[in-house]
Amino acid sequence: MRLLRTLAAAGLCLGLAIPAFAQQERVLRFGHLNNTDHPVSLGVKRFAEILSAKSGGKMKVQEFPASQLGNEMQQQSALQGGVQQMSAPATTSLAGIVKEFGLVDFPFSVGSFEQDDALLDGPLGQALIARLPEKGLVALGYWDLGFRNVTNSRQPITRPEDLQGLKVRVIPNPVFLETFKAFKANPVPMPFAELYGALESKAVDGQENPYAVILSNKFYEVQKFVSATNHVYAANIVLVSKKFWDQLTPTEQKWMTEAANEARAYQRQASRAAAAKAVGELQAKGAQFNELTPQQQARMREIAAPVVEKFAGQYDPAIVKLYNDELARIRK
C-alpha cells in the first residue's frame, strides 16, 4: 500500500497522465424537444446505455425531453455557452449559424431513406459538420426524424392548390418559409413547444412534421386531416457543447463518438418502424389520411424548384457543388 501511494505521488509530481479508469465522473445534460415515447428519446436512451458501458459508468447521461430545457434556439445557445452538454435538434435549427444546413431542407431532394443516409453520412454531411466547431458546437452524426407531412384542420391536401391560404406553422427557417410561400400558404414560424396550443386555438390551421411526431404529440386531437406530402426529409443532429467537448480526454471523446455511431443505427431503425406504424395509429385515433398521386407530387416539386434555385445561389458554391455531386451519385 505504501509503495502504491509512493508511486501515485511520484506520478503526480512528474505530471503523468491519469489513466482512463481513474477519470472523473461526468453527467451530461441531454435535452431535446420530443416526448419520451418518440424515437429521438429512444436514441438518447440507447446512447446513454452504450456510453455508460464504454466508460464503466463514469459518463452518465441525464435526459431532458419535451422541451424541458427550452426551445431549439434556447438549447443551442445553452450548448454554445457550455451550460448544457448535448441536444438532438432537427438540422433545420442550425441554418441560422451555418446557412448551408439549409441544403438538407431542400424540398423533394431525396426520395428514400437510403438516399438520405448516403447524403448525410457521406462527404456532404461531414462538410456541414466541419463548420460547427467555430460556432461552439461539435456534431456526432445524424439521426432519423423522417419525411415531413402536412396536417391541418380544414381539408385534405391532395394537390398544391389545397395549401393556398392555409396558416401553416413551420420551423423558423428561411427554406421552409419560402417553400410554403411558393405553395401560396401562409407560413407561420413558431417554436415547437408552442405548436399544440396554437393548433388548439386555431391560431394556425396546420403544421408539418413526420408521422411519429404527429402521433407522439397528439396533434390528431386538434387536426383532422393528415396528408402524405413527403415534401422534405428531416434529420436530427447529435450536438455536443464544444466547451464541454474540449474538457474531455481523448478517450472520453472516443467513447462518445463510438456510442453515437452505435446508437445511430438503432435510432434510425426505431424511427422508421415508428413512422410506418404511426399512420395506422393516427387513423385509429380518427385522423383522415390521404396520399398524393405521383402527378401531384411532381407538380409540388416543380412549384418548389425556384426556392431551391434561389437558396442554392446564396450558399457557398463549393458546398452547393458537393451537394449536387452527391445527389447525382446517390440517385444512380
CATH code for position 38: 3.40.190.170
Residue 136 banded pLDDT, cuts 50, 70, 90 = very high
Please give the Cα distance from 1 to 56 (Å, whole number): 24
Position with higher pLDDT, 224 vs 173: 224
Mean pLDDT of the chain: 93
- Identify the pLDDT of residue 171: 86
Handedness of CA 193, 196, 202, 207 (dihedral sign): positive
Decide if pLDDT at 74 tops 60: yes
- Identify the pLDDT of residue 303: 98
The mean pLDDT of 190-214, rounded to a whole number, is 95
Decide if pLDDT at 222 tops 60: yes
Which of helix, strand or coil describes residue 184?
coil
Contacting residues for 315 by C-beta, under 8 A, at least 6 apart: 99, 100, 102, 103
The mean pLDDT of 259-266, rounded to a whole number, is 98
Kindly state whether residue 1 falls inside one of the protein's structural domains: no
Residue 172 banded pLDDT, cuts 50, 70, 90 = confident
Kindly state whether residue 19 falls inside one of the protein's structural domains: no
Decide if pLDDT at 266 tops 50: yes
Burial of 41 (0-12, 13-18, 19+ CB in 10 A): buried
Q: What is the DSSP letter of 322?
A: H
- Identify the pLDDT of residue 88: 98
The mean pLDDT of 135-164, rounded to a whole number, is 98
- Identify the pLDDT of residue 4: 43
Residue 107 contacts residue 308 (beta carbons within 8 Å): yes
The total number of structural domains that make up the chain:
1
**CA atoms within a 13 Å half-sphere pointing along the CA-CB vector of 243:** 10
Q: Which pairing describes strands 86-87 and 225-241: parallel, antiparallel, or unpaired?
A: antiparallel
Decide if pLDDT at 16 tops 80: no
Kindly state whether residue 171 falls inside one of the protein's structural domains: yes
Decide if pLDDT at 12 tops 60: no
Chain Cα centroid distance, residue 41:
12
Domain containing 294: what range? 26-330
The mean pLDDT of 21-43, rounded to a whole number, is 90
Kindly state whether residue 8 falls inside one of the protein's structural domains: no
Decide if pLDDT at 15 tops 80: no
The mean pLDDT of 86-104, rounded to a whole number, is 94
Kindly state whether residue 5 falls inside one of the protein's structural domains: no
Decide if pLDDT at 77 tops 50: yes
Decide if pLDDT at 109 tops 60: yes
pTM for the model stands at: 0.88
- Identify the pLDDT of residue 3: 44
CA distance to 93, 105, 108, 304, 309, per residue, from 210 (Å): 16, 13, 14, 19, 25
Phi-psi region of 81 (alpha: psi -120 to 50; beta: other; left: phi over 0): alpha
Residue 177 contacts residue 187 (beta carbons within 8 Å): yes
The mean pLDDT of 148-167, rounded to a whole number, is 98
Decide if pLDDT at 21 tops 50: no
Kindly state whether residue 12 falls inside one of the protein's structural domains: no
Kindly state whether residue 163 falls inside one of the protein's structural domains: yes
Residue 309 banded pLDDT, cuts 50, 70, 90 = very high
Cell numbers placing 232: 422534405
Which of helix, strand or coil describes residue 144?
strand
The mean pLDDT of 318-323, rounded to a whole number, is 98
Alpha helix ranges (H) inside the chain: 2-14, 39-54, 72-81, 113-121, 123-129, 174-182, 195-200, 211-216, 242-245, 250-284, 294-312, 317-330
Kindly state whether residue 15 falls inside one of the protein's structural domains: no
Decide if pLDDT at 1 tops 80: no
Which of helix, strand or coil describes residue 313?
coil
Position with higher pLDDT, 1 vs 312: 312
The mean pLDDT of 37-42, rounded to a whole number, is 95
Contacting residues for 158 by C-beta, under 8 A, at least 6 apart: 227, 290, 292, 293, 296
